[in-house]
Amino acid sequence: MRSIVINPQGVLPYGLSDWTTMRQKECMYVDRTQAIAELDTTAAHACLWGPRRTGKSLLANQLALWHDKAVPEVERTELFAGTYIGRNPTASAGQYLVLALDFSKVDECRSEHYLKKLVNAAIQTFSEKYRKAGLLNEDVKIDDKYYATSIANLARVVESSGHKLSVIVDAVDSFAYKILLHVSHTCGLRAKERLDIGSFYQLEAWGTSVLRDFCLRLNLCGIERTFFTGVLPVAWPTGCSSIKRVMDLTDDPAFQKTLGFKSSDIDELLALRFPAMDPNERAKHLAAIHRTCNGYRRSSSQVEALYNPQGVWFYLDQRQNHGDQMVPHIDPNVLPPVPDEVVDFLVRHAAATNSPVRLMDEAIPYEPLHGFSTADLFDKRRQPQALLSMAHYLGYLTVQYPKDEALGNVLVAPNEEMRSEFTDSVLRSLPKVYGTLAVAAMAKDVLPAVAVKDAFDAYLTGRLSRKRTYSRFG
Query: How far is it, in rounded angstroms, from Cα 470 to Cα 474?
Result: 7
Whole-angstrom Cα distance, residue 462 to residue 156?
60
Q: How far is CA 121 from the centre of its chain?
A: 24
Distance CA 413, CA 352 (A): 17
Instruction: Write out the chain's pLDDT in tens, 474 residues.
Output: 455 899 999 999 998 999 999 999 999 999 999 999 999 998 899 999 888 888 999 999 999 999 999 999 999 999 999 999 999 999 999 999 999 999 888 776 666 778 889 999 999 999 999 999 999 999 999 999 888 899 999 999 999 999 999 999 999 888 767 766 654 433 333 333 334 444 445 555 555 566 777 887 887 787 889 999 998 887 676 666 666 678 888 888 888 878 889 999 999 999 999 999 999 999 999 999 988 888 888 877 788 889 989 989 999 999 998 887 777 677 776 666 555 777 777 777 756 665 666 666 667 777 777 667 777 776 777 877 888 888 888 888 888 888 878 878 888 888 777 778 788 888 888 888 899 999 999 999 998 888 988 888 888 787 655 444 333 333
Long-range Cβ contacts of 138-144 (<8 Å, 24+ apart): 144/120
DSSP 82-127: TSHHHHS--TTTT-EEEEEEEGGGS-GGGHHHHHHHHHHHHHHHHH
Cis? peptide before 402, omega within 30° of 0: yes
Residue-wise pLDDT tens digits, 123-175: 999 999 999 999 999 999 999 988 889 999 999 999 999 999 999 999 988 87
Strand partners, 164: 96
Rounded Cα gap, residues 205 and 234, in angstroms? 11
Supply the mean pLDDT for the chain.
Answer: 82
> Which helix or strand (DSSP H or E) is residue 6 part of?
strand 5-6
Decide: 106 and 114 in contact? Cβ < 8 Å: yes
Tell whether omega for the bond before 339 is within 30 degrees of 0, i.e. cis.
Answer: yes
Cβ distance 239 to 211 under 8 Å? Answer: yes
Question: pTM for this structure?
Answer: 0.88
Q: What share of the chain is helix, strand, coil (3-state, %, to 5)?
A: 50, 10, 40
Report how far apart, in Å, the C-alpha atoms of 21 and of each of 11, 24, 51, 443, 444 are: 11, 5, 23, 50, 52
The two beta strands, 398-399 and 410-412, are antiparallel
